[in-house]
Amino acid sequence: MSRETFVFTSSTLRALRLQREMLELDERRRAASRQSVSRRYQPAPRSLLYLPKPSRRPQYCRDPAVHNALYTGDLPRVRHIFKDETTANLIVETVTEELVWSTELGSTGLWVLSPQKKHTSPLRILAARGYRDCVKHLLLQGAEVDAIVGGKAALHDSCAHHRAECTRLLLSFGANPNMLSEEGLAPLHLCTTQETLPCAQLLLEYGALVNQYTQDRRASPLQVAAKYGLDDHVKLYLCYGANIAHRNREGETALNAACASADSPEEAGRYYRVVKRLLDGGADVQVAGRKNHTPLHNACSNCHIRIVELLLQHGADANVSNCAGYTPMDCALQAVEDYLEGEPEQVIATLLSYGAAPVNPKMLKFCALSPQTLEVILNSYDRILSCDSWVGSVPPEVWQKHQTFYDSALWLVNQPRPLQHLARCAVRKQLGVRCHQGIAQLKLPSSLQDYLRLPLEGYLK
């Protein structure tokens, strides 16, 4: 047991209390002496009852019995152990063995187990686990509500673990809703799940700054909520005046964050709702963030057809380039192999209908595993000049499964396309960026309108 660690026995606690009382008495005597010397400079003598308390020396605890009482929320044991301000503000210390890279045991280095100390507080442990009655007991005993121990305060933990009742209690005892952790995060930045919505509401009601930024990336709570696809949080923050145009250190807005994070098909719906709410709130669809990616670049990289359509409907540029010179179409093609189940051909067809420039033949190799995507692109050409850029990339099993399509593509190389197809290309070219809405306005039979939209047929003609 370390020099600053003690076992919780009745004699130890009595000794601690006695030592504190002696320190307080000595400090009062010194203060009284200073007052008598400088009394003429003071408007009136101060009562000894209002003198500042001496700073406490931090006390550390490794006692397993204490740890067990805290982690299980054993209220009777907590009341028995934490009886005053000194014990309520203990620092709980744990030592764990962690793998670290060391060069002390060899010239090349080795992974070794090294003891690592971690510190927290009783208040943090209880707040993170939602033991409200235990938290209240510690606060009544004088636990410092805003104490930063181990990098965070208790309010950070209660919000991160969606303990709304503990959050309410801490705030009612004066916890600072804008307190920053050692990592530069306010409690509102730690509300990253749908379950934390009540905590976010409480923080704002108690004065949390809705536009407070993290210290490292200068991300706002709105950007954090957008990144995690939290539609209700986004709505809440906007109601409290969140700055929808704020850009973090990398130049990204909340809209950029939402489109970049929508990379999982099963979470597509909630990110779509976030993007729609941001756009309805006036988010700029053209703002480019990291690597000069616009929201459309990000949505195309994630093959999110509904977000792609939504961004294009709000005026996104289908031909803007990022810092590498890639357009949204290029990003969509590079994502084809990762999202074969997401029907990437729909993203390609949508971009073409909103005026995307013809696809560079060198990019067709990315369609090797998706003949449907390749069919849409080849049907956007008025002729097929060569297949050399992609034919060697098609796996034999894919070729065999879709042989009819590939044979038709090879047969049409340097061959004239049918007049019907040439007319389709001419109409689409004439409509340009209005192709998506112009086709429906043409006085043509529905079958011809469908033909103009580049439907999949499984072969080329």
SS (H, E, C) 404-451: HHHHHHHHCECCCCCHHHHHHHHHHHHHHHHHHHHHHHCCCCHHHHHH
Pairing mode of beta strands 110-120, 60-61: unpaired
**Residue 126: which pLDDT band, with cuts at 50, 70 and 90?**
very high
Q: Would you say 189 and 221 are in contact if contact means Cβ atoms under 8 Å apart?
A: yes
Lowest-confidence range among 13-22, 170-179, 212-221? 13-22
Terminal alpha carbon distance of the chain: 83
In this prediction, residue 225 carries a pLDDT of 98
CA distances from 380 to 34, 66, 418 (A): 91, 72, 13
Lowest-confidence range among 95-104, 222-231, 357-366? 95-104
In this prediction, residue 261 carries a pLDDT of 94
In this prediction, residue 51 carries a pLDDT of 44
Residue among 178, 17, 157, 165 at smallest CA distance from 88: 17
Give the list of residues 6+ apart from residue 327 with CB closer than 8 angstroms, or none. Answer: 318, 319, 320, 321, 356, 357
In this prediction, residue 38 carries a pLDDT of 41
Q: Would you say 173 and 196 are in contact if contact means Cβ atoms under 8 Å apart?
A: no
In this prediction, residue 436 carries a pLDDT of 86
Residue 12 Cα to chain centre, angstroms: 46
Instruction: Classify burial at 335, counting beta carbons within 10 Å of its beta carbon; exposed 0-12, middle 13-18, buried 19 or more.
Output: buried
Mean pLDDT of all residues in 363-375: 93
- pLDDT (tens digit per residue) in 144-153: 999 999 999 9
Please give the share of the chain, as a percent, with pLDDT higher than 90.
70
Question: Nearest 5 degrees, angle CA 21-CA 22-CA 26?
Answer: 120
- pLDDT (tens digit per residue) in 202-249: 999 999 999 999 999 999 999 999 999 999 999 999 999 999 999 999
Whole-angstrom distance, CA of residue 418 vs CA of residue 415: 10
Q: What are phi and psi of 93, to 5 degrees?
A: -115, 130
Is the pLDDT at 55 greater than 80? The verdict is no
CA distances from 269 to 191, 226, 280 (A): 20, 13, 17
- pLDDT (tens digit per residue) in 61-89: 888 899 999 999 999 999 999 999 999 99
**pTM value > 0.75:** yes
Is the pLDDT at 252 greater than 60? The verdict is yes
**Residue 18: which pLDDT band, with cuts at 50, 70 and 90?**
low
Residue 83 Cα to chain centre, angstroms: 40
Is the pLDDT at 30 greater than 70? The verdict is no
- 94-131: b or e for each residue (b if 16 or more CB lie within 10 Å)? eeeeeeeeeeeeeeeeeeeeeeeeeebbbbbbbbbbbb
Mean pLDDT of all residues in 167-183: 97
Residue among 232, 177, 166 at smallest CA distance from 204: 177
Q: Would you say 145 and 166 are in contact if contact means Cβ atoms under 8 Å apart?
A: no
**Residue 13: which pLDDT band, with cuts at 50, 70 and 90?**
low
Pairing mode of beta strands 110-120, 91-102: antiparallel
Tokens of 26: 């000595």
Is the pLDDT at 196 greater than 90? The verdict is yes
In this prediction, residue 24 carries a pLDDT of 67
**Residue 128: which pLDDT band, with cuts at 50, 70 and 90?**
very high
In this prediction, residue 50 carries a pLDDT of 39
Is the pLDDT at 113 greater than 70? The verdict is no
More confident residue, 55 or 78: 78
Whole-angstrom distance, CA of residue 409 vs CA of residue 297: 29
Mean pLDDT of all residues in 118-133: 95
In this prediction, residue 437 carries a pLDDT of 87
Residue among 97, 90, 89 at smallest CA distance from 61: 90
pLDDT, the chain, mean:
87
Is the pLDDT at 421 greater than 80? The verdict is yes
Is the pLDDT at 112 greater than 70? The verdict is no
Is the pLDDT at 367 greater than 50? The verdict is yes
Mean pLDDT of all residues in 369-379: 94
Residue 89: how many other CB atoms lie within 10 Å: 21
Is the pLDDT at 4 greater than 70? The verdict is no
